[in-house]
Chain A
Amino acid sequence: MTVFTCADSFEGILCGVYDAWMSRLGHANVCLELADMGNLRMFAEYRQVEEDPEKADRVIGAIRRKAGQGVYECVYHASLSCEEQKADRIYRFLVYALHTGPEIVGMLHIPAVYELFRMNRFVTNEAMHMIEFVRFSQTEGGILFGTAAPKNDVVPLMAPHFADRLNAENWVIYDEKRRKAAIHRAMGEWILAELPDDSFRRRLAEAGDQAEFENLWRTYHKHIAIAERTNPRCQMNHLPLRFRPYMTEFQKGV
């Protein structure tokens, strides 16, 4: 068994796929792992994957040509997943996908396809939840600042939605876990940036003076519930507790 270790990014995984495939060792004899993940195996040879945009481009080209845009999107979503085995799962899926073509996404009885479908579903569902539940607070100069801590790396999936919806606003969505942010300038483009130092957050927090609307929202949230129908279980099913620390209506008012 030869194990290819690749970086935890879309490009990194695709480079891993390229190296493993082109090593000509046979699909059964290779395996992909993310770098720095747990224990080493005893009877395996480890190879470090070198990142090279050209390798990734060739894999993307092959996916698009042979399997179409739908499969490409599935693979991209899966690469944002938080699961450790995602690199190998993407590889196993591509073995089928490049052979079969676009209709592979519906063949859920194949375990490799199902695994990818499952990761894809988790990522897109969480992205949808984060789009719904992320809360902005207004800071210095009218900049909207939202914080999130999603399980999967969904900020790149949230950004296009808000770039369209809040196109005339300056906003930032900050992923606390991965210390990266999507930053959008009014009437402009959005970018993805790594922000290892979070001193900017304190500056933004100090500048916030929007207690008025946050309090109004808490008032509204309290009054819209019908007392006779109180049902915390149902609320918890729809809005799990892990989202709540970041949501205005569940924070204590000033």
Chain B
Amino acid sequence: MLIQQNMELREKLAILADAAKYDVACTSSGVERKGRPGQLGSTVYAGLCHSFAADGRCISLLKILYTNQCIYDCRYCINRRSNDVPRAAFTPDEVCRLTMEFYRRNYIEGLFLSSGILKSPDYTMDLLYQTLWKLRYVHGFNGYIHIKAIPGADPVLIERVGLLADRMSVNLELPTSEGLKRLAPSKDRTRILTPMRQIQRGIAGQKQGIVPAPGVERNVPYRWKRQFVPAGQSTQLIVGATPENDYQMIAVAEALYKNYDLKRVFYSAFVRVNDDSLLPALPGGPPLLREHRLYQADWLLRFYGFSAGELLSETSPNFNVFLDPKCDWALRHLERFPVEVRTADYDTLLRVPGIGVRSAKRIVTARRSGRLGFEDLKRMGVVLKRAVYFLTCGGRMMYPLQIDRDFITAQLLGEEKRRAWDIGQKDSYRQMSMFDDGFLNPAPTEEDRLTAVLGQM
């Protein structure tokens, strides 16, 4: 292990940003807070993305590790003890200075601070606490802070940190305890779930008017008193490092939303950074399409009123590669379609492929005052390419289409295949050739049909 003293700030930033990038959570949403006179920063409920990196992921927060030295040896992690990588550690002042100066220039929306385990979970959590305390009370930073709760740290420390941060997260990493045992032998599931439960109770207790710990911040002026984790907690699951199927993943996510009141579950396509015999070889690169499908399903769980059992089951435990989960569900439930736009209720509209939360709301508002047609739907943001097979307007479909599973699947596939291809095989464009008839063949016209029937070629 290489530990350098007096490293330049730029080198440290490079090392510790590199070490932090496999953590996917980079949202600044969940809490609306106005600026305070004399302090720096505010937060916006929907969150703001300040930039996008070369991999297309948003950069909202300054995502860094406090240190990438770690006492654990998790097999999937680049910072594991047995890896020979350059190690570095910030000081609390350096983190504060970077955050403040980046924030002033509108580069970032706040700080995402995580850390490798230095000495012990308690010691590490205490370092993070010191950093946050300085940032909030010495530098007067009022922007967004997302912090990792270190499993195994003292509950008192977690509570104190929670009063300074906006969002906390504990990474579950692997959906089942067997997977965890295999790849992260020094972590165990109950130790991860304990702080998660504690944060959940803290948030819930505050909502009911029970202040988490009376007098924790005794030497702080009243106007600076803060809420406990106002933006809620999140977690992350690694996709494709262990043999769990999509159904298990999505069922775990659903349980977390229900039992732990999580705001978000993030999915991270596994990138093979370590050469380890227990890790799967991924010749096609990280499983990006699978990650994409999981996010689609996650949205369906949170905003569209679906349950995990509706999307997948024990008998068909993986998502369709060619169709998004909502289309897939609709095709398996054609008895519920077509839906009449002018009368169907909001929840029914939400389940139509091509209609999202916004367009469903717009439809419900607009139809109070007039009759909607397919042209109007298009304007409201409905994706007719998909929705057209599942909707009627005033009792009529847009085209005389048959509600037939094979037919609709074939139609949707043409569209969906191209997009799945884009995600799986980015940057490789289809070569067009003289003999390529993939999409250049015109459909037979009415005259063609007539001549074919009458035999007048």
By a beta-carbon cutoff of 8 Å, the part of chain A in contact with chain B is 103, 106-110, 114, 128, 131-138, 144, 146, 161-162, 164-169, 187, 210, 213-217, 219-235, 237-239, 247-249
Contact = CB atoms under 8 A, between A and B. Distances in A.
Contact of A232 (B54, B98, B105): B54
B34 interface: yes
Interface string B378-409: 01100000000000000000000000000000
Given A103-B369, A167-B38, A216-B98, A224 B362 contact: no
Contact of B53 (A165, A210, A225): A225
Interface of B: 9-10, 13-14, 17-18, 20-22, 34-42, 48-59, 62-63, 98, 101-102, 104-107, 143, 269, 271, 285-286, 288, 362, 365-366, 368-373, 376, 379-380, 422, 426-427
Contacts of B271: 226, 228-229
A220 B18 CA distance: 9
Contacts of A114: 379
A229 B37 contact: no
A162 to B, nearest CB: 8
Contact of A167 (B21, B37, B51, B373): B37
Contacts, number: 166
Contacts of A226: 21-22, 55, 57, 271
B21 A224 contact: yes
Nearest to A111: B379
B21 A221 contact: no
Contacts of B36: 167
Contacts of B34: 164
Contacts of A215: 10
B104 A136 contact: yes
Contact of A107 (B9, B22, B98, B366): B366
Nearest to B20: A224
Given A136-B104, A168-B38, A224-B59, A233 B422 contact: yes
A234 B371 CA distance: 38
A168 B62 CA distance: 22
14 contacts: A106-B362, A106-B369, A108-B362, A138-B104, A144-B104, A146-B106, A164-B42, A167-B36, A168-B38, A168-B40, A216-B13, A229-B57, A230-B54, A233-B426
B355 to A, nearest CB: 14
A187 B51 contact: no
A217 B102 contact: yes
Given A167-B35, A226-B21, A134 B106 contact: yes
A235 B53 contact: yes
Contacts of A144: 104-105
B50 A187 contact: no
Given A223-B17, A223-B18, A234 B104 contact: no
B232 to A, nearest CB: 22
B231 to A, nearest CB: 17
Contacts of B50: 132-133
Contacts of B362: 106, 108
